[in-house]
Homo-oligomer: A and B are copies of this chain.
Amino acid sequence: MTTRADGRADDELRPIKITRNWLDHAAGSVLIEFGRTRVLCAASASEGVPRWRKGSGLGWVTAEYAMLPASTHERSSRESVKGKIGGRTHEISRLVGRSLRAVIDYKALGENTINIDCDVLQADGGTRTAAITGAYVALADAVASLGVQKALTGSVAAISVGIIDGVPRLDLPYEEDVRAETDMNIVMTGEGKFVEVQGTAEGVAFDRAELDALLALGEKGCADLTKLQLEALGS
């Protein structure tokens, strides 16, 4: 049997740390850590909605994800300097936004907008899933600060799973991620339903049995994260 470099069981999360109110200005903010991955999630609330939604009585939630240049193993160049946003950044920003909107009741939110910013301070695999998991907590605080708790219809968490050397594993750090034959990100509600399932074969296509194994791991990981989110919010 293979062992993981950090000694974890195959279905075990890395140490997770959720620090609420890491910032003073945002309505909600969280520094979330999945092992060495560190993402700063901020939820800023403002009155009003984008033009296309005005007068509807409905609110809006949107998200932006980005990585600091020095967050990666090799420094990556700054997207503002390049003057355009890369495809990966776009893709993850959209994923985070959709995931959070899955637990929002726009009517109860009223014509308010919540902007979620997920900035990766340090990247070691799983940044998008940490972003979603942390952003949910920041969102909950922002919704509470607006006094519209009913706008939150549930919770949402996300985790990565993958097959490394033929073995399905939970919560991949960078060194496993780059070696994974298959890589999947799973977003689930606190009630155990799926919000997003995104699986990608890296090199070798995967069969139905492998897919099922990954889904089961993802279900366990999201359930574990849900508990940690509730603890963080409960205190």
List residues of chain A with CB under 8 Å of any chain B CB: 23-26, 29, 36, 40, 42, 44, 46, 64, 66, 68-75, 78-91, 93-94, 98, 102, 115, 117, 119, 121-122, 124, 184, 188-189, 191-201, 203, 205-208, 211, 215, 219
Contact = CB atoms under 8 A, between A and B. Distances in A.
A74 B113 CA distance: 13
Nearest to A82: B80
Given A81-B85, A102-B205, A211-B194, A70 B25 contact: yes
The A interface is mostly helix, strand or loop, or mixed, namely: mixed
How many copies make up the complex?
6
A91 B87 contact: yes
Nearest to A64: B78
Given A70-B117, A195-B200, A196-B200, 12 more contacts: A23-B121, A24-B122, A25-B71, A25-B75, A42-B70, A44-B70, A64-B78, A75-B117, A86-B90, A193-B201, A196-B198, A197-B197
A86 to B, nearest CB: 8
Contact of A64 (B29, B69, B74, B206): B69
A115 B215 contact: no
A64 B81 contact: yes
A197 B199 contact: yes
A69 B116 CA distance: 10
B215 A205 contact: no
A195 B200 CA distance: 6
